[in-house]
Amino acid sequence: MESELHFPTTPSDPDTPRTATTAVNRTLHLLQSDDPDSQIQAAKEIRRLTKTSQKCRRQLSPAVRPLVSMLRLDSLDSNEAALLALLNLAVKDEKNKVNIVASGALEPIISFLQSQNSNMQEYATASLLTLSASTINKPTISAAGAIPLLVEILRHGSPQARVDAVLALYNLSTYSDNISIILEAKPIPSIVDLLKTCKKSSKTTEKCSALIESLVAFDEGRTALTSEEGGVLAVVEVLENGSLQSREHAVGALLTMCQSDRCKYREPILREGVIPGLLELTVQGTPKSQSKAQTLLRLLRDSPHPRSELQPDTLENIVCNLISQIDSEDQSRKAKKMLAEMVQVSMEQSLRHLQQRAVVCTPTDLPINNCTSEVSSK
């Protein structure tokens, strides 16, 4: 997950490899100047050249150290120009990402997270989002103290900074040692708040859901989510209306909670009307979502064990048991409708399977040489 800032730039991008090389060399030379205005001009040119050109990002990699030095100057103009140039240098370039961190950029970038200037806060957050996409950088960024400040941005930053902060936290959470540090900063109330306001089909929702799924693997995360007003409901709403990937993370989070302590979390999950969404997932979700939804449905009923030989442990019977426990007439109606649809889809799938088995090729039907087989597309 990376971030790239797009701003109006000079339209005269290099037309040929020769002019591009000339522009790169001229810019690198200008960056070495002792004149601050010339350095700023060079940084702006680097940002322009690297906005869309991967080749220029490679050619301009020697600019990293001088730009990092500009971040330490007591000049907002120099800081901003250098930070934007470094951001574009890092986009989709692993070597530059690692080099930027190794060159000492984290200290000034993290200090900008605490800036009173909202633009610098945004640029610094976007930079950490991009730099945290590198596996090598994840432990270093955490060790530099970025995580609590990113959570603070998630709480109080501008709308764009909040989105970039949660995406950066997601990137950092994929390094397992960072999870406990993220939990200590208590991000779940702010993640839930963001989930309530962003589009359920968005990439932001997907990463929020993935981050919650990782955090509720720990008792502190589960407690924080259930203690937050509307926390479980926000996850249920993603399960109902999110993208396929978001729904997979949402059902994974709820399943993790219920598996950790069924007695404690069964009621809070049922209370938010999760059954219709789970039923839909058993029919329309990804293979992982379908499996997790079925497992969660079994855990949510009165007893997690088969009821009797007379009432077999089928998904339909499990759901009927759950529907009988729903107080809300609206939720019960939705659940019954989804159950009917689930049964219909199951019957259609069984019919297709029977038809496929009926159409078999035997030696008495056709010569062996004409008997062909193929698998369905994956």
Calpha distance 131→97 (Å, rounded): 5
SS3 309: coil
Does residue 324 sit within a domain? no
Does residue 270 sit within a domain? yes
Q: What is the pLDDT of residue 283?
A: 85
Q: Are 296 and 314 in contact (CB under 8 A)?
A: no
Domain hosting 238: range is 186-301
Does residue 42 sit within a domain? no
Calpha distance 238→259 (Å, rounded): 20
Does residue 127 sit within a domain? no
Calpha distance 120→111 (Å, rounded): 10
Calpha distance 372→119 (Å, rounded): 64
* Orientation angle between helical segments 159-173 and 146-156, nearest 10 degrees: 140
Closest listed residue to residue 144, CA positions, set 117, 178, 187: 178
Does residue 363 sit within a domain? no
Calpha distance 177→188 (Å, rounded): 18
Domain count, the chain: 1
Tens-digit pLDDT profile for the chain (378 aa)?
666 444 333 334 444 456 678 889 999 999 999 999 999 999 999 999 999 999 999 999 999 999 999 999 999 999 999 999 999 999 999 999 999 999 999 999 999 999 999 999 999 999 999 999 999 999 999 999 999 999 999 999 999 999 999 999 999 999 999 999 999 999 999 999 999 999 999 999 999 999 999 999 999 999 999 999 999 999 999 999 999 999 999 999 999 999 999 999 999 999 998 998 998 998 889 999 999 999 999 999 865 554 444 444 555 555 555 555 555 555 556 555 555 555 454 445 444 544 554 444 433 443 333 333 322 223
Does residue 318 sit within a domain? no
Does residue 259 sit within a domain? yes
Does residue 338 sit within a domain? no
The C-alpha torsion from 232 through 189 and 204 to 216, rounded to 10°, is -60
- Give the CA distances from residue 32 to residues 37, 58, 65, 68, 160, in Å, rounded to whole numbers and listed in that order: 12, 18, 11, 13, 33
CATH number at residue 252: 1.25.10.10
Tokens of 298: 């079994």
Calpha distance 169→177 (Å, rounded): 13
Which residues contact residue 225 at a Cβ distance below 8 angstroms, ignoring those fewer than 6 apart? 188, 192, 212, 215, 216, 231, 232, 235, 253, 257
pTM value > 0.75: yes
Q: Are 213 and 242 in contact (CB under 8 A)?
A: no
